Structure 1
């Protein structure tokens, strides 16, 4: 509970001066941001409580707390304000969600701790998450579709102009990426070929999207968005993203050989 309260204080302090902060502007307009902060605080607080009942293994608590801190910084810190006017910073925010926070959540394996607190209340959700891990390629396709859909000009600009759509965009990236990394990094030996295929598929299509953004000679997101910023955004998706997905492939191959 103290962790939850600390998170709420951190969110309030860090975001009070930003456009998507918790309490700046009209409170009614902040409802989606406040709701997102509460959900994030609950997820973190329930994990802390659950860890007292089901002890995490090894580095799992470190991965979880690091992921939550990065999620707070990405969603409510100054990065969110910079992302409003810069395509490059917007891509940094998205990449933090998808290739940093999400795989850290997968490595943290928080389900046992959440289940220890919530019991059977959210059992259908736990089953759905665990079941998704059996289909890494299907999860990768859903995650990939969401990446492309939210980077279409109309939805990209809608998310910038409307807080509800902005928070939905973040939720789509975070949750689908978590399921994707969960299915890949935690796959049993029998599913490791599919997990490797899912990683390679994601590597290719995100690289393609990054290349389109990089080599385009016009801004996809309006004349007020600097073309050079879009090109940097494309490079960020293309190069660092490829490195992370290749690291994911290496992790899967290492586990595969280790379990043989």
Structure 2
């Protein structure tokens, strides 16, 4: 059943959106990055489903993974990708789905054990590198922040809109860097919790600054044809909902940290 659902959702955008991977209205060079994205997402999802039969996910990890993949498919291939070409606010909605919805869900899902169960030694060097990198939340927050600011510069922003290949690379940068960031923060060990909270605070501050620049800007940053009010709405979307998610993440990390401390104190208390 999960395999059928995976295939159905991947094929559905082909008829529902202007940017589906099998849209005949697009040239072959425009469809290739979409088809490659569909193959990568479908393969990752299918391998996870197969891996779940070998390594059973804990708790609700499978639910988070399937939910994240469904949202990813509709964010990448659904109509929102077409609307984002002319609307700065809807483009921001797409980016926020990548960075504060899909990425933390992937982090909570912890799919690496399932992928490693299927791919074995092929994935081990990459997974080991990811696990080692997860020990440095602040460094990964800086990497993710660099991706956010680089791709929101006017020249690269417009390049991603005009070229399908660069558009796919932009999405990959947001998704992968955000996943690493949330992975390092939400899965931080007790010793790494202060670093994780610092990483979230850093991300909260610089994304809020970018949102404020878009909100209070007096001219459209991404072309004169863009509506200024639409750009200001995009800034508010990054500023307010994004801040709430980062604060919620920091609260969840702090609660887990305090719960561990209270549990240890209770265990150490003499009978």
TM-score with structure 1 setting the length: 0.97
Moved more, 89-98 or 26-35: 26-35
Structure 1 residue 6: Cα displacement = 4.1
Deviations along 1:195-218, one digit per CA (max 9) or x if unpaired, are 000000000000000000000010
Take 2:219 and 2:3, find their aligned partners in 1: how far apart are those partners? Answer: 45
Deviations along 1:195-245, one digit per CA (max 9) or x if unpaired, are 000000000000000000000010000011111111000000000000000
Task: Mark the CA change 1:164 to 1:5 in structure 2 (over 3 Å): closer, same or farther.
Answer: farther
Larger Rg: 2
Take 2:129 and 2:218, find their aligned partners in 1: how far apart are those partners? Answer: 43
Take 2:14 and 2:178, find their aligned partners in 1: how far apart are those partners? Answer: 25
Structure 1 residue 31: Cα displacement = 0.4
Count of paired positions: 259
8 Å Cα contact 1:91/1:236 also seen in 2: yes
Q: Where in structure 2 are there 5+ consecutive unaligned residues?
A: 262-271
Q: Which residue number corresponds to residue 93 of structure 2?
A: 92
Pairing of 1:144-183 with structure 2 (within 5 A): 144-183=145-184
Helix, strand or coil: the match of 1:37?
helix
Q: Which residue number corresponds to residue 59 of structure 1?
A: 60
Instruction: Give me the CA root mean square deviation.
Output: 1.2
Pairing of 1:20-35 with structure 2 (within 5 A): 20-24=19-23, 25-35=26-36
Take 1:251 and 1:157, find their aligned partners in 2: how far apart are those partners? Answer: 36
Deviations along 1:137-186, one digit per CA (max 9) or x if unpaired, are 00000000100000000000000000100000000000000000000000
Q: Where in structure 1 are there 5+ consecutive unaligned residues?
A: none
Helix, strand or coil: the match of 2:84?
helix
Take 1:170 and 1:226, find their aligned partners in 2: how far apart are those partners? Answer: 23
Q: Which residue number corresponds to residue 214 of structure 2?
A: 213
Pairing of 1:80-229 with structure 2 (within 5 A): 80-229=81-230
Pairing of 1:12-27 with structure 2 (within 5 A): 12-24=11-23, 25-27=26-28
Take 2:8 and 2:67, find their aligned partners in 1: how far apart are those partners? Answer: 17
TM-score with structure 2 setting the length: 0.93
Take 2:234 and 2:8, find their aligned partners in 1: how far apart are those partners? Answer: 32
Q: Which residue number corresponds to residue 46 of structure 1?
A: 47
Take 1:205 and 1:130, find their aligned partners in 2: how far apart are those partners? Answer: 26
Take 1:15 and 1:220, find their aligned partners in 2: how far apart are those partners? Answer: 32
